[in-house]
Chains A and B, each alone.
Chain A
């Protein structure tokens, strides 16, 4: 996994609440193997007409075709657990989504793929979206180690993030390797677990 440390990038404001993972990656693309094709798949049904010609959706044209950050409204990434929604964001070049709240599974999926889903209060998200609206193509910066977002006007916003999520992102750490250090503890737990629950049978 690519580490995430800092980013300064064009940020695209998305004013709508509840942008779900079906919109990020329409269901019929879930079968596409992970890879560059996902760049086109992101928001496919908003970006392309049924005949395949591009719409006016903002990600289709400059400056937002170069976006690295999305500033959204509440409940971004709700819905399906599909990790393909994260593949699509990632391949498009999005490394960070800022929103007042996220779908839980989506936020976890982001963290596993080097993408930072960070939470700022509703008013701060709205203020940053307004700035971006006024100055299309403006950049904002995110510093994960310092836990700050620097908005268009240079104002710093502090954000909270769980320490493990932060460390894994900063180091680009693979979760499975982390867990395997505990293999013995897991095995020990498992033995007792089944001893106390004979009805679960010999599942292992």
Chain B
């Protein structure tokens, strides 16, 4: 705290990375930058301008978006499509050429760019993290300022290790209360987005606070922060606490010995001071939140699983009415039908939102109660998650239930690696976006938690997981 003015964690992080101000913008120092195959556009731009990566030790590259989720032993040869294969190969070559740390396709810790860095201890409290991907907000779970940026800004960071930003407004979202049985971090964030809207936090950095957030595991916190962008915020973070430190301790990039003690002292001072001001405050009562699923084509089209598909006819605002009509037409749903009557063709359990070990445990706990009624994939978020799940026997649970156990990557979250829905197919998915065509042209997506996805898998329709677990 400087002087006597109480500061929020957002201000503290901002101030500690602020190099200078110029014309109303701030030049911010970047600790860590995360790249994926699409970052090739940034590398190409850098190369064209003849510039260098000035701090290669602070840039980390991941192959996740384009990698296949089967046949890994054959390496890049397993990728049939030349365009896709070249993205992986070119990115790996570019990373090597510029000397940045690469978690390539054959790396023992390969995985999604928002899952591997926390596993490795690359993400620690107090950092300014940028990533060439909108879900970089995930890393806010560790008390970091973590921004998603496009290719140009990423190239800028590689060339300067800094980024021009305008200070976002600060918004605190306080969630209190004991969520009911069967309600997970995913349900909290979906319910929140349904309440504040997909542009509800535009221009803001969010601090999530309150007893519900404190009670979440680090995995759950990552799920919440991950989807901040789906509420329009580039940044969503949670003050670090003992759970955070326990997660980081002992990981490959974590400090040790005396350095660890020094780090802890600094991290403990990061939290929001009592009396700090926020531009906006939102409160949510976790006891009122049910397991949630989306019915439409925007993450804000989310409802408790006990709900029914909304009827556009009942909506006064013409803009919203036509939005709902478009959504229902695309999703091929009837107004008034129960969400639990929505029949599925596929189930996808994966993505940087929900493919950590805790997510797979939750899915397996449900999977062991039945057999998949539709094609169901489980795509772990990283090799480390995959090995851990196998050590716990979760893979066997899934396989016995008729789920497919695959290799780590983004897979059907963004459908760019060759895993995608057929036109018209309907999928229950633990990912983060239900936009039209997101999981493949003409595909239809219902977002939900891992436990809810597993429940949908063994019934073949959207299902209230609480009924199954009773």
Interface residues of A (CB under 8 A from B): 15-18, 20, 22-23, 26-28, 30-31, 33-34, 45, 50, 73-75, 78-84, 86, 101-106, 108-109, 112-113, 162-164, 167, 174-176, 179-180, 182-183, 185-186, 189-190, 193, 197-201, 203-204
Contact = CB atoms under 8 A, between A and B. Distances in A.
8 contacts: A23-B437, A45-B437, A81-B133, A109-B151, A164-B164, A179-B27, A179-B164, A180-B159
Interface stretch (B16-24, B274-282, B346-354): B16-24
Interface residues of B, number: 72
B371 interface: no
B199 A101 contact: yes
Contacts of B57: 203-204
Given A164-B24, A190-B161, A105 B199 contact: no
B333 interface: no
B92 interface: no
Given A182-B19, A186-B27, A203-B55, 14 more contacts: A18-B198, A22-B436, A28-B415, A31-B38, A78-B199, A78-B232, A105-B149, A164-B22, A175-B152, A175-B156, A179-B160, A189-B20, A203-B58, A204-B58
A75 B150 CA distance: 17
Contacts, number: 180
Contact of A82 (B27, B38, B203): B38
A199 B159 contact: no
B83 interface: yes
Contacts of A175: 152, 156, 164
A186 B152 CA distance: 19
B181 interface: no
Nearest to B17: A193
Contacts of A27: 414-416, 438
Which among B44, B415, B437 has the highest number of chain A CB atoms within 10 Å?
B437
A101 B149 CA distance: 18
B38 A30 contact: yes
A84 B156 CA distance: 17
Interface in B390-444: 414-416, 423, 433, 435-438, 441-442
B437 A50 contact: no
Interface stretch (B183-191, B256-264, B337-345): B256-264
A176 B416 CA distance: 30
Contact of B255 (A17, A20, A176, A199): A199
A186 B166 contact: no
A101 B198 CA distance: 11
B384 interface: no
A112 B255 CA distance: 37
Contacts of A45: 436-437, 441
B19 A186 contact: yes
B2 interface: no
A99 B155 CA distance: 27
B226 interface: no
Nearest to B418: A28
Contacts of A80: 133-134, 414, 433
B437 A22 contact: yes
B44 A104 contact: no
Given A22-B437, A104-B232, A190-B29, A179 B133 contact: no
